[in-house]
Amino acid sequence: MSNYHIKNLEEYWQVYRKSIQNPEQFWEEIAEEHFLWRKKWDSVLEWDFSKPEVSWFKGAKLNITENCIDRHLATRGDKTAILFEPNNPKEEAQHITYKQLHARVCQFANVLKAQGVTKGDRVCLYLPMIPELAIAVLACARIGAVHSVVFAGFSASALATRINDCDCKLIICSDGSYRGAKTIDLKSIVDEALEDCQSVSKSLVIKRTNGNVTMKEGRDIWLQPLLDVADTSCPATIMDAEDPLFVLYTSGSTGKPKGMVHTTGGYMVYAAYSFKNVFQYTEQDIYWCTADIGWITGHSYIVYGPLVNGATTVMFEGVPSYPDFGRFWEIVEKHKVNQFYTAPTAIRALAKENLSFVEKYDLSSLKVLGTVGEPINEEAWHWYNDNIGKKNSPIVDTWWQTETGGIMISPIPYTTPTIPTFATFPLPGIQPALLNENGEELKGNQVEGKLAIKFPWPSMARTIYGNHQRYKETYFSAFKNMYFTGDGARRDAVGYYRITGRVDDVIIVSGHNLGTAPIEDAINEHPAVAESAIVGFPHDIKGNALYGYITLKETGESRNHDNLRKEINQLITERIGPIAKLEKIQFTLGLPKTRSGKIMRRILRKIAEKDTNNLGDTSTLLNPEVVQNIIDNALV
Ligand code: PRX
């Protein structure tokens, strides 16, 4: 029996039991058999959740790009590693083989070195979904630089915050990006951000749209001419297993975004292991994840997980609606995609459109369908299952987080029977627990509570960049000796997990994690605003949308409310990005507060959800009178 690749339910249970009874032996066997280490570890696992400190494969030496590329060259050199599908269907797809990927990563790494980037330096990547993004990620890893990819939909100010938080030395960006019919001028966003970033001395610019850009003397350099003369080999910098590989920002319920730090050895092992099992990848398969590399899903399941396994991974530059709503399915047919991994929000948007967009295409190559990022509702699940999978492709509803680095709870296709809305069983090595309000673990099945993880797993984030105390408070303080996820979950009669959603102030909109605090901060910058609170409410396509309750400094009708709404959303777009715009804005006379001054979001959430019959305990409110006023004027 192989620990690495599970093929049936009996095997799953055997492997799962082993992974719990003897985690170190379990992961050691996997690490030994399937990866290239320059030196083996001194210990498999050392951990103490009270500090919290976790290290996997301590003392081991490796470079993740040798695992992603070099060791495949002998057997898979001419196999396509990255299959790039451009935004415009008339532009030809690019097949980048493992050999070509090796040469391009080495050239890029040599350019970075020549620009003074060395091991441990942070490099910011702000790029569209073009092959250079994956290549830049790998080039950083090649020389031990820590990549910090920022999703290219974030605004200049959000980009600057992220650059400054981890003191990036250099940024890699492009002139622009294509998204459907739109061309976006990314370089000017970068220029604006860099005005506030003292640490960045160089910016390497990739040509994609050929738009007009301003190149700042001494700082901005076109990348291509440097690549053209760079050497196609570059020795990999040998890293410790616990050296940081990347920083990736995620929103918290309060404060600025958290730079989650992932390290090298454990992350590699877990990303590869989970990819292999959750997608049941076999050698000839074409695998496609529609996420952006700006999110963790892209890191683990477009770049690292697939490449460590020697897979062919599709990178798509565009959007599902361009040139029409059949684009995803056209690509599946064109490249004979076998595994397809997307977000519920995309499924819901496409399910609204005419079925002829699906029926035009031959989807018979599909073997596994996946979803990630938010709960999938039953209707969307069935649409996906019936029309895309034709009831023949199991759907893996994968639950995990930026912090977890890899998929934690998910069916294994052709192994775990699936039920809509259930993420089902934990993967081997993952030990979930459900806890009640008193922090007591709920044993047995048919229970619901807060979801925590009891034991370390190899790809867990090790800290928050520059703020270990916050890491401890956020994840290891709610429950003793456990990692707290911020999600709630139910365990059903057979032990399947169903994620019930966030139990904190993080709101998931179209699969994107949005903290309430930074959005409220942006709103409060408006000179007319006294204070604000935002909550999520159910939305047909986005899963959740944002509802803002805003109290103005001067009440009355002296200002045009529609203009104010526009100005506020404009501010949010500038500070964070269009994804954080408010769907509804209600101007209120006040916000319900506890005697200690805390806004009672629970009440605001119920009003936004149109569930005002049972507002729960309002006895601790300082100003109960505002509640009725808010209900009377609710935008529902
Ligand atoms: O609330 C959970 C939700 O997304 C959160 C993590 O968001 P992020 O760090 O951006 O990572 C998204 C991609 C891994 C979780 O705390 N979430 C993620 N997957 C699911 C989910 N909720 C329900 N079902 C899922 N499959």
Residue nearest to atom 2 of ligand 1 (CA): 374
Residue 559 is predicted with a pLDDT of 75
| Distance from residue 406's CA to the centre of ligand 1 (Å) | 11
Ligand 1 atom index nearest CA of 409: 26
Place of tokens 């361009």: 322
Q: DSSP string covering 546-592, please? A: EEEEEEESS-SSSS-HHHHHHHHHHHHHHHT-GGG--SEEEEES---
Please give the torsion angle defined by the CA atoms of residues 363, 366, 370 and 376, in that order, rounded to the nearest 10 degrees. Answer: 40
Q: What is the pLDDT of residue 158?
A: 94
Closest ligand 1 atom number to CA of residue 398: 26
Residue 172 to residue 223: CA distance in whole angstroms = 9
Q: How far is the CA of 401 from the centre of ligand 1 (A)?
A: 5
CB 205 within 8 A of CB 215: yes
Mean pLDDT value of segment 499-525: 90
Identify the pLDDT of residue 508. 94
Does residue 564 surpass a pLDDT of 90?
Answer: yes
- Return contacts of 92-96, CB within 8 angstroms, 24+ apart: 93/334, 93/335, 94/131, 96/131
Residue with the larger pLDDT of the pair 497 and 594: 497
CA of 38 to the centre of ligand 1 (A): 34
pLDDT at position 597 is: 76
Residues paired with 621 in a beta bridge: 594
pTM strictly above 0.90: yes
Question: Tens of pLDDT along 15-29?
Answer: 999 999 999 999 999
Assess contact for 122 and 247: CB atoms under 8 A.
Answer: yes
Instruction: For the chain, report the end-to-end CA distance as a whole number of angstroms.
Output: 57
pLDDT tens-digit series, residues 412-453: 999 999 999 999 999 999 999 999 999 999 999 999 999 999
What separation in Å is there between the alpha carbon of 580 and the centre of ligand 1?
17
- What is the 263 CA–ligand 1 centroid distance (Å)? 21
Closest CA to 241 of 55, 109, 117: 55
Question: How much distance in Å is there from the Cα of 418 to the middle of ligand 1?
Answer: 18
pLDDT at 558 over 70: no
Say which residue, 435 or 506, is predicted with more confidence: 435
Token digits of residue 615: 């507002």
Q: How far is the CA of 384 from the centre of ligand 1 (A)?
A: 19
Provide the residue count of the chain.
636
Contacts for 617 with CB less than 8 Å, ≥ 6 apart: none
Rounded to 5 degrees, φ, ψ at 444 are: 75, -175
Pocket-testing residue among 374, 453, 510, ligand 1, by greatest number of atoms within 8 A of Cβ: 374
Gap from CA of 399 to ligand 1 centroid (Å): 6
- Does the pLDDT of residue 1 top 60, yes or no? no
Q: Are residues 575 and 582 in contact, defined by beta-carbon separation less than 8 angstroms?
A: no
315 - beta bridge partners?
84
Percent of the chain at pLDDT > 90 equals 90
The residue contributing the CA closest to ligand 1 atom 7 is 401
> Residue 557 has what pLDDT?
58
* Least reliable range by pLDDT among 3-7, 113-117, 392-396: 3-7
Tens of pLDDT, residue by residue over 248-271, are 999 877 778 999 999 999 999 999
Give the pocket of ligand 1 (CB within 6 Å): 250, 296-297, 372-375, 397-402, 423, 485-487, 499, 502, 508, 513
Interface predicted TM-score (ipTM) over 0.90: yes
Q: How far apart are CA 174 and CA 136, in angstroms?
A: 12
Question: Which residue minimizes the CA distance to atom 26 of ligand 1?
Answer: 399
Among 451, 513, 542, say which to mutate for ligand 1: greatest number of ligand atoms within 8 Å of CB: 513
Closest C-alpha residue for ligand 1 atom 10: 513
Per-residue pLDDT at 622: 84
Which of 460, 499, 505, 507 to probe ligand 1 with, by most ligand atoms within 8 A of CB?
499
Distance, in Å, from the CA atom of 336 to the CA atom of 496, rounded to the nearest integer, reads 32
**Which atom, in ligand 1's list, is nearest to the CA of 486?**
16
Q: Which residue's CA lies nearest to atom 23 of ligand 1?
A: 375
pLDDT single digits (tens) 278-292: 999 999 999 999 999
Tens of pLDDT, residues 65-74: 999 999 999 9
Please tell me the predicted confidence (pLDDT) of residue 455: 98
Which pLDDT value is given to residue 2? 64
Distance (Å) from CA 375 to ligand 1 centroid: 8
CA distance 467 to 556: 44
Decide if pLDDT at 375 tops 80.
yes
Pick the residue whose CA is nearest to atom 15 on ligand 1: 401
Summarize pLDDT for 382-419 with one digit per residue, the tens.
999 999 999 999 999 999 999 999 999 999 999 999 99
Mean pLDDT of 589-593: 91
pLDDT at 499: 95
3-state secondary structure of 387: helix
Distance 482 CA to ligand 1 centre (A): 19
Q: Which numbered atom of ligand 1 lies nearest the CA of 397? A: 26
How do 244-250 and 146-149 pair as beta strands? parallel
Query: 399, 403, 460, 502: which to mutate for ligand 1, most atoms within 8 A of CB?
Result: 399
- Paired tokens of 281: 């990848």
